[in-house]
Amino acid sequence: MMIGARDLAFPRLNLLSWYIYIIGAAFTLYAVISGGVDTGWTFYTPYSSTFAHTQVIPTALGVFITGFSSILTGLNFIVTIHKMRAPGLTWFRLPLFIWAMYATSVIFILGTPVIAVTMFLLGLERLLHIGIFDPAIGGDPILFQHLFWFYSHPAVYIMILPGMGVMSELITAFSRKRIFGYSFVAFSSLAIAVISFLVWGHHMFVTGQSVYAGLVFSVLSFLVAIPSAIKVFNWTATLYKGSISYEAPMLYALGFVGLFTMGGLTGLFLASLATDVHLNGTYFIVAHFHYIMVGGAVMAYLGGLHFWWPKITGRLYPDVWARFAALVIFVGFNLTFFPQFVLGYLGMPRRYAVYPAEFQTLNVMSSAGASILGVGYLIPLIYLIWSFKYGPIAGPNPWGAKGLEWTTPSPPPTENFTEIPVVTEGAYDYAQTSGSRTHHD
Amino acid sequence: MSTATADIHAHDLPADTRTNYLNVDHSVKSWLLTKDHKRIALLYLISITLMFFAWFPRFRQRLAISLCR
């Protein structure tokens, strides 16, 4: 809808992706219910291939199948963005969310086959013991880690890039300003996608790679901070002298800027070889990861959900509750994960249920924060479901936002637009107060 | 975004737009075999939200075990 299209390029393929996803999820769910896995989420060999007696095969199969859903969706998005844009919607008039989804789709297509092959090899090794990861017959267990992280590092960018795209939409809409440095924000998405494939070794600083490989991966990991920082600086510059209003989506967006910045900066500590040796395997990593994935990706998800909810359902949710929930989530999140930075720095390793007495206070704080965070997530679940049935009618554009999706009724008709819009201006042209994008009703 | 402005918007809608992607067909089949990207997005939204609670059966197992001890 944001590119003025009636649907994706391949609607049937889109539905197929969902069914493949459900089948993959069914295998994974079966694995969870029938005993789970004891390999950790990383499935490191040789434990996963030779020694574990848990549901490794169903889980690997679940991941393998779900991968095809990602690949097909990535393909669908790329073709759609190339071929289905409305007349006049040139590449540099695209909403930045679309640039972010394009970059994400590139990672889908280049990265997901690698994890699929890795899971396939893991299955072969486990069932037939062909020796790929077994040094006794010429294999190498470390090879698994290379293959695994070659996908699994880009995978975190799959999660954060769409969130960054959402951010560019929210920040501009609620500060009533054009984005600062459009092309820098657009190309930083592509830069993140490209560099994401070159940094996997930073997960393996302490698992036996040469010191030179470590140095190169360290430098490349620093490099990925540049496009990420460009985005943060440009969002901040967009806020400058903006006419800012603090509706619920904007609260999530501002939360994102702060929390993602903290997550990104602590990432630099971990990308430095000397500090990583100290911090590796501690709560510091857990905190860093969650500042990006929850403080970043989940905040953006909730912000986006609240922003487009009136478009999706045609209904408004109670704004007071929404702002309250955003605040509860922000407080709960920080109380959960900030103490973990301190714990990790003091040397508390991750994945242990017991710890020395001096770590008690910080751990209790973290647990209390998790409960607050849980409540924070339940509040939107309740009022969003309520609003779907009883919320006041939203109208086509409750935020007064730019973007083609706001020019059509809420909820939109099946074909999205009664007549395909013709675009005559760039994205986020909030400078003009009168007259929005040209559309013919 | 007060209720008053929202109501004005609702009145502004032409009558023919009252049919939308949600109410165009209510049958289960129309949802499970849909080609509409908006409906597929909701299928994802609902199934992913349900997966969020997938820990529950396992949690009950573990809880039962720990209570037995």
| Residue in chain B lying closest to A410 (CA) | B20
Contact A239, A256 (CB under 8 A): no
- Tell me the sheet residues that pair with A349: A282
Contacts of A393 in chain B (CB under 8 A): 6-7, 9-10
Contact A36 B42 (CB under 8 A): no
Whether ipTM > 0.90 holds is: no
Q: What is the pLDDT of residue B6?
A: 46
Closest CA of chain A from B41, distance in Å: 9
Interface test with B, best of A388, A414, A415, A416 (most B CBs within 10 A): A414
- Express each pLDDT in A114-133 by its tens digit: 999 999 999 999 999 888 99
Q: What is the pLDDT of residue A309?
A: 97
For B:3-32, CB contacts with A below 8 A are 3, 5-10, 12-14, 17, 19-22, 24
* Distance between CA atoms of residues B53 and A255, nearest Å: 25
CA distances from A222 to A120, A271, B63 (A): 32, 7, 44
pTM: 0.89
Q: What is the pLDDT of residue B11?
A: 47
Contacts of B2 in chain A (CB under 8 A): none
Contact A345, A279 (CB under 8 A): yes
Q: What is the pLDDT of residue B4?
A: 45
The tokens describing A221, both together, are 């990991």
Q: What is the pLDDT of residue B67?
A: 81
Contact A286, A352 (CB under 8 A): no
DSSP A341-366: HHHHHHTPBSS-S---GGGHHHHHHH
Q: Number of A to B CB contacts under 8 A, please give it.
A: 94
Contact A395 B43 (CB under 8 A): no
How does the average pLDDT of chain A come out, rounded?
A: 92
The tokens describing A297, both together, are 């990706």
CA distances from A21 to A71, A119, A225 (A): 11, 16, 32
Instruction: Look at A166-175, B7-16, B34-43, B50-59 and tell me which has the smallest mean pLDDT.
Output: B7-16
Select from A269, A42, A60 the least CA-distant residue to A142.
A42
Instruction: For tokens 């097909």, name the residue.
Output: A72
Instruction: Look at A197-206, A296-305, B1-10 and tell me which has the smallest mean pLDDT.
Output: B1-10
* Distance between CA atoms of residues A292 and A288, nearest Å: 7
Q: What is the pLDDT of residue B1?
A: 42
Closest CA of chain B from A225, distance in Å: 30
- Express each pLDDT in A235-272 by its tens digit: 999 999 999 999 999 999 999 999 999 999 999 999 99
Contacts of B19 in chain A (CB under 8 A): 413
| Residue in chain A lying closest to B25 (CA) | A414
